[in-house]
Structure 1
Amino acid sequence: MRSNELEQYLTELLKPGQIKDFTPNGLQIQGCEHICKVVTGVTASKALIDRAIAEQADAILVHHGYFWKNESYVIRGMKHDRIKALLVNDINLFAYHLPLDIHPTLGNNAQLAKLFAISDVAPLELANPLSVAMQGSLHEPCTGEKFAELINTTLDRTCLHIAPASNKPIKTIAWCSGGGQGYIELAAEQGIDAFLTGEVSEQTTHIAHEMDIHFFAAGHHATERYGIKALGEHLAKEHGLEVLFVDIDNPV
């Protein structure tokens, strides 16, 4: 498959033009023209690039790529080492950020809903069909402690659980992969029982206590592994590409 054909297919699939993002989505670093083997991962770190080189991959496909808004334009230090390794080894770098969070079947949030068997999935921002935060229902109500155990087992990560004073059972839940802790107030205002995301802020504890909502932080990386993995599996199935998901562990 040619690199431009892969980018065109991913553009049609993920529709990056429909959402404003903090980074360019698509082919960020051009490499070889023909792509047979793809390494997928959460972040285009040097460790992931080194693994792609070892695997003789033609392309890397990630959720977190380069050239973020407000970062320096200068290519030096860590950025130089990463980009040089890609260019010297003729490896394409494709990155899709928010489009991969919100995709209705392959996205990070859709994959979390699947992992936790959440039904009645809908946008948390009711007037925004492209909301990066979602809401839904558990099949059976459960305690906050039990849901924390489920997170720990499913994501292989010990989550942070902040329980409200009522410690009410959880039936409805909202979630946002990655750094979505800012949506907790909106979830609480809608009477939702719990909110799950990757990161936590100092004020989150007070919000959870004062607005009577369970809060779970399971790690930015851990909540965003599954979209890129699903996307790679989709490409392998639909286009016959050899795809290898590499999980460069990150406790954050």
Structure 2
Amino acid sequence: MKNNKPTILVVNDDGIDAPGIKVLMDTMKDLGKVVVVAPDGPQSGTGHAITIAKPLRLDRVHIYPDIEMYKCSGTPVDCVKLAVNQVFKGKKPDLCVSGINHGLNHSINILYSGTMSAAMEGAIEGIPSIGFSYDDFTYDADFSKCVPFIRAIANQVLEHGLPAATLLNVNFPKTGAARGIKICRQANAKYAEEFDERLDPHQRNYYWLTGVFQSGDKGEDTDVWALDNDYVSVVPVQFDLTAHHAIPILNSWQFDVKA
């Protein structure tokens, strides 16, 4: 009998032994055949970095029974590239899911997020892709309230696909039970950053990045608003970074170039 179950690539940036990826993997097992390719350690904040200056390792591991799993020495994006090239041998999976990240990836955070960069790499490869993040940084975070929403969103993507060059950024509020799902835009918000200057034992300066999240975006259609009001935020994201609205402005400039 032919197996028509979809194949699902599960990745993350918190490392292959993070609790979030275990929950995501278990949720995806109900929807299809799961293959996990994840970093061998935490890779938060690596963005879309790839490894080019040193060799990459990809090793089969047996952490959970009946699940095909690999740990990778590189970044989350490396994991997706190696999965497509070496594990799936060019036959792409039906879905790529990344997470569940310990901590939010709303607003500008998407640019720094290893979780979302892994999902974005999946979309670049032409795979319908979703990144999932939860507003709890603790190791023992309770992801159980996220599961029904993850299943529902993943089912819709498997059924309908996604528009070309588009992926989903899904964030869960830290609440006992979310009120529902809101399709949102990315808020115009960022961290007000500072560097805490300290001295090491050799009396040399070093710096530790700190900051406070600030949003001046008062729109009620943003991911920040949705999460503040106990909704699951779903933002459609594209990897085409062209500022299309700026092209007519630049075309009006007079470039005085002399050979």
TM range (shorter): under 0.3
Structure number with higher strand proportion? 2
* TM-score, normalising length: structure 2: 0.27
Q: Which has the higher helix share?
A: 1
How does the TM-score come out when normalised to structure 1? 0.27
